[in-house]
Amino acid sequence: MNDPIQLSSQSRPLVDPFGRSITYLRVSVTDRCDFRCVYCMAEDMTFLPRKDLLTLEELDRLCSAFVRRGVRKLRITGGEPLVRRDIMTLFRNLSRHLASGALEELTLTTNGSQLAKYAAELADCGVRRVNVSIDTLDADKFKAITRRGDLATVLKGVDAARAAGMQVKINAVALKGVNEDEVERMVDWAHAGGMDMTFIEVMPLGDIEPARFDQYWPLRDLKARLAQTYALEDIPYRTGGPARYVRAKETGGRIGFITPLTHNFCESCNRVRVTCTGTLYMCLGQEDAADLRAPLRASESDEPLDAAIAAAIARKPKGHDFIIDRDTSRPAVGRHMSVTGG
């Protein structure tokens, strides 16, 4: 294992053409998932051949190259990251950057199905926060949305994460006609457990069976509904991601809103995404990408990799072009969310 990264004057921070510093990297470690959520995947998914995926050692080297260039927050995603074989090896290795101070935060987004199994070990690796995707607290509805998930198992994972000392944030996709009637219940439940509750608009990524326009519930409407129950006050709280937060005075808890369509968050974008095959997407809502696997494998030196990363960041666009309406039959981006990473 390499020594902890030593930041130097030669390790120039990554800054895009619009002056935004890239300090947040989201890395997908697998496109596989044990759920098939209706807004994320087709029911009959074809996954990548395992040989196309970066090895855990390559993922470590790639993440470390970004940390060397100023990335301070690293989020591990999927698919479902905890179904990747030996994934804790990657967490243990990356934790050295926390110990050295080069990295401020190592975290993950998960569907929670494996969280009870790994929560204690994740905490031992320095993971202090975790995002868990739960779109409903109704067990039957949860099964229908995920097509195969078990709500009780996920809730046990949430309890395990909290018991291990991790701060849990609940993410829910706002689904018209599906979970509209329980957003207040979800807020009350999350806040009673000391957890933030974040709502996310459906994103037009990948072909799926339901029409996305029929799923789409604008968060301005969801927020207006919440305002009938709670006194919502704007707060400056940020986690480094795209969510904008308010505080519900009645519960004292935070509610986040991620609004790629009704109010995009591009002006402050500080993040890029790498897929499990080493493809770097500079924007979630654009198709332009850079192959990092080839330079990663071309040389034991990191110079080709560093050059490829710098060239890609120089092409980062100003923003995305997400559109959802009844006349737009094709997704804004053809790849599924599980391919890019959550």
Residue 223 marked in a binding site = no
CATH number of 24-340: 3.20.20.70
Residue 39, marked binder: yes
Q: Is 146 a known ligand-binding residue? A: no
Mean pLDDT of 307-331: 69
- Find the mean pLDDT for residues 286-308: 94
The whole-model pTM stands at 0.87
Question: How sure is the predictor about 46, in pLDDT bands with cuts at 50, 70 and 90?
Answer: confident
pLDDT at 212: 47
- Annotated ligand binding at 85? The verdict is no
238 marked ligand binding residue = no
Mean pLDDT of 323-334: 43
At 322 the pLDDT is 45
Q: pLDDT-derived band of residue 239, with 50, 70 and 90 as boundaries?
A: confident
Is 203 annotated as belonging to a binding site?
yes
DSSP 314-337: TT--S-------TT--S-SBSS-H
Q: Which residue has the higher pLDDT, 134 or 40?
A: 134
DSSP 133-150: E---S-HHHHHHHHSS--
Q: Is the pLDDT of residue 320 over 60?
A: no
pLDDT mean over 264-287:
84
Q: Alpha carbon of 83 to those of 29, 112, 153: distances in Å?
A: 9, 11, 15
pLDDT for position 260 = 66
pLDDT digits (tens, 9 = 90+) for 80-119: 999 999 999 999 999 999 999 999 999 999 999 999 999 9
Q: Exposed, middle or buried by CB within 10 Å (0-12, 13-18, 19+), for 252?
A: exposed
Greatest pairwise CA separation for the chain in angstroms = 59
Instruction: Give per-residue pLDDT as tens, 167-216.
Output: 999 999 999 999 999 999 999 999 999 999 999 988 654 444 454 456 78
Q: Is 276 annotated as a binding residue?
A: no
Split at pLDDT 50, 70, 90, the class of 1 is low
- Of all residues in the chain, what percent carry a pLDDT higher than 70? 85
Average pLDDT over residues 65-69: 97
269 is in an annotated binding site: yes
Is 36 annotated as ligand-binding?
no
Q: Residue 51 pLDDT more than 50?
A: yes
The predicted model gives 232-247 an average pLDDT of 90
Query: Which residues, listed in sequence order, are joined to residue 107 by a DSSP beta bridge?
Result: 75
Which phi and psi angles does 283 have, rounded to 5°? -145, 135
* 79 in a labelled binding site: yes
pLDDT at 323: 44
Please tell me whether 249 is known to bind a ligand.
no
Q: Annotation-wise, does 169 bind a ligand?
A: yes
209: tokens are 């069976």
Output the six-digit token pair for 108: 């993950």
pLDDT classification of 342: cutoffs 50, 70, 90: low
| 140-156 per-position pLDDT tens digit | 999 999 999 999 999 99
147 is in an annotated binding site: no
Using pLDDT thresholds of 50, 70 and 90, give the confidence band for residue 319: confident
